Structure 1
Amino acid sequence: MTDSFAVNKANWDERAVLHASSPDYGFARFAENPAHLSDVVRFDRPRLGDLTGLRAVHLQCHIGTDTVSLSRLGATTTGLDFSGAALAEARRLAEAAGASIGFHEANVYDAVDVLGADRFDLVYTGIGALCWLPSVACWAAVVAGLLRPGGRLFVREGHPMLGTLDATEPPSPRYPYFEHAEPLVFDDPGTYVAVDRPLGHSVTHSWNHSLGELITALLDHGLTLTGFTEHDSVPWNALPGQMALDEATGEWRLSDTPSRLAASYTLQAVKPG
């Protein structure tokens, strides 16, 4: 049986250096401007609120742009990712930005063992993270384990409706909406930002998770849903040739009648005290 995590790790190890040097991630802006935030965190800043004094963990933090941004909103922040190459770039970014962040290399399913239980006021997971996990229920157990009583989960993620679509025009449902045992296998030498060369480790394994499965998993592990918002935009060009960039937000939405597509969502939940 193929180890999907190993396949994906090879892909993300290679992406890390390319992403860190891409103008789309804008590493230099974090060093040049102490108030600079990633587009993803800036989009959700009204929902995130003041994080001053909170202990936060960013799961699947990749190269750390959102992690540094959470730190700049006042949180004492920890980052966790399974890619050592990504964490090397995240540490480099944090140092350049003057941010004190602890980064840990581990599979997200092992986060409680690595970081400890009942420790965090905020568990944050950003865009494009959950699709790399085969079981959203296992992930929800990790979230519940990391949060202290009264702590909050904050998720910004691509919408599973978007995850079903192919790139035809108009886009049509092709892939599962509901969680599936076997991964979707793609072989794509490109990535979602501008880079200077194709990927050598181009194969990835991914899964979709329905909104019902996500919410049910959180409820089953004792969390209480406190907020849910769907958006017609997403931070990458998910359907090339059919989306337009909003320069003010860094978000992409359908060029023609964007209200047809739920492209992403923001979810919040708390662990009861």
Structure 2
Amino acid sequence: MRKDLHEANRLSWNAATRAHNSHKGDQAQFFRNGGSTLFPEELALLGEVHGLKALHLQCNAGQDTLSIARLGADITGVDISDVAIDFATQLAADAGIPARFERADVFDYLAHAAESSVDLVFSSYGTLCWLSDLNAWAQGIARVLKPGGRFVFIEFHPYAMVFDQDWTMCYDYFNTAPLAESGVSDYVAESGDGLAVGEYQAGEQDFVNPHASHEFTWGVGQVTTALSQAGLCVARLDEYPYANGWKGFDGMQDSGGRRMVPPTGMPRIPLMYSIVAQR
């Protein structure tokens, strides 16, 4: 486990989170008006959550956590970024939505949380690449889930990550070394209204992250095997030819409902996948 790189990533996320939220307008008002940041895919995968005790891992600034809380779950969001957790805590108070947030490395949180304590663990979009130990992650999830509890996961597809921004094949799918990057980008600005909460705001311009970041590559087979070996039964694995909200590559277009697809004429490829697993 590379806790040194996790700490470097914490600093990078602190800087990026400020930029991200500068584009999202009055988020508290968005939630007070009944808004939700969950896409139809997450809602379908989650199903009925009213009354469930839930844990949202790598919750970022808490928007999805609050959206799940609005559905009636008793939920705690966990993230490594101080800035993200401070923002999420204040947003919950301003929006009047009950949810708890804790700042912690996900591995530390899972190691110290009570065993068999939650009905639901949720994680979504751009989370796996920050984890240096996939088996410890899967085992921690299995540990905190109650018997019969579910893990609901949706993520950008690792196959898409072999491409550079201009769709040039650049990275190995099978990569065992951490990738050093220039820092977490302002992907909210890059995606425009695809990832804005409410109306997109110009916010911070020309963001350059002063802190480098380090990413880890995990294939679909590695993820499903880690979950299975941790004692979870994978009930479904789905792939999607679009990316919700995220315009990660040149020329991506909104095919409807903020489902971003490659440029016209390019073959369809998997851009997201989801897993539902049960203890």
Q: Same fold (TM over 0.5)?
A: yes
Residue 44 (structure 1) aligns with: 42
Residue 238 (structure 1) aligns with: 248
Residue 33 (structure 2) aligns with: 33
**Corresponding residue SS for 2:154:** strand
Deviations along 1:237-273, whole A, 9 cap, x unmatched?
1102x21124x522311122565210001110000xx
Counterpart code for 1:217: A
**Corresponding residue SS for 1:201:** coil
Whole-angstrom CA distance in 1 between matches of 2:278 and 2:13: 30
Whole-angstrom CA distance in 1 between matches of 2:99 and 2:68: 10
From 225, 243, 252, the counterpart of 1:216: 225
Query: Equivalent pairs: percent with the same residue?
Result: 30
User: Superposition pairs for residues 172-211 of structure 1, below 5 Å?
Assistant: 172-180=168-176, 182-188=177-183, 190-194=185-189, 195-197=203-205, 198-211=207-220
Whole-angstrom CA distance in 1 between matches of 2:184 and 2:66: 28
Which consecutive unaligned segments of at least 5 residues does structure 1 have?
A: none
User: Within the alignment, does 1:86 sit opposite 2:84 as a pair?
Assistant: yes
User: Within the alignment, does 1:117 sit opposite 2:115 as a pair?
Assistant: yes
- Whether the 8 Å CA contact 1:31–1:96 is kept in 2: the answer is no
The 3 A distance-change label for structure 1 pair 266 and 2 is closer
**Corresponding residue SS for 1:44:** helix
- Whether the 8 Å CA contact 1:16–1:89 is kept in 2: the answer is no
Counterpart code for 1:13: N
Whole-angstrom CA distance in 1 between matches of 2:221 and 2:184: 32
Whole-angstrom CA distance in 1 between matches of 2:128 and 2:246: 16
Whole-angstrom CA distance in 1 between matches of 2:242 and 2:235: 22
Give the alignment's TM-score, normalised by structure 2: 0.87
The 3 A distance-change label for structure 1 pair 177 and 125 is same
The 3 A distance-change label for structure 1 pair 257 and 225 is farther
Give the alignment's TM-score, normalised by structure 1: 0.89
- Whether the 8 Å CA contact 1:30–1:96 is kept in 2: the answer is no
Counterpart code for 2:36: L
Deviations along 1:170-225, whole A, 9 cap, x unmatched?
x2332122351x21111157420125141342421001111110010011111001
User: Within the alignment, does 1:265 sit opposite 2:273 as a pair?
Assistant: yes
Cα distance, 1:29 vs structure 2: 4.8
The 3 A distance-change label for structure 1 pair 118 and 259 is farther
Residue 18 (structure 1) aligns with: 19
Cα distance, 1:17 vs structure 2: 2.1
- Whether the 8 Å CA contact 1:41–1:70 is kept in 2: the answer is no
Whole-angstrom CA distance in 2 between matches of 1:145 and 1:258: 43
- Whether the 8 Å CA contact 1:17–1:89 is kept in 2: the answer is no
- Whether the 8 Å CA contact 1:53–1:74 is kept in 2: the answer is yes
Whole-angstrom CA distance in 1 between matches of 2:22 and 2:169: 34
Whole-angstrom CA distance in 2 between matches of 1:2 and 1:57: 22
Which consecutive unaligned segments of at least 5 residues does structure 2 have?
A: 190-202
The 3 A distance-change label for structure 1 pair 258 and 56 is farther
Cα distance, 1:2 vs structure 2: 9.1
Whole-angstrom CA distance in 2 between matches of 1:93 and 1:144: 30
- Whether the 8 Å CA contact 1:82–1:105 is kept in 2: the answer is yes
User: Superposition pairs for residues 85-164 of structure 1, below 5 Å?
Assistant: 85-164=83-162
Q: Select the structure with the greater relative contact order (CA < 8 A; seq sep ≥ 6).
A: 2
Whole-angstrom CA distance in 1 between matches of 2:136 and 2:172: 19
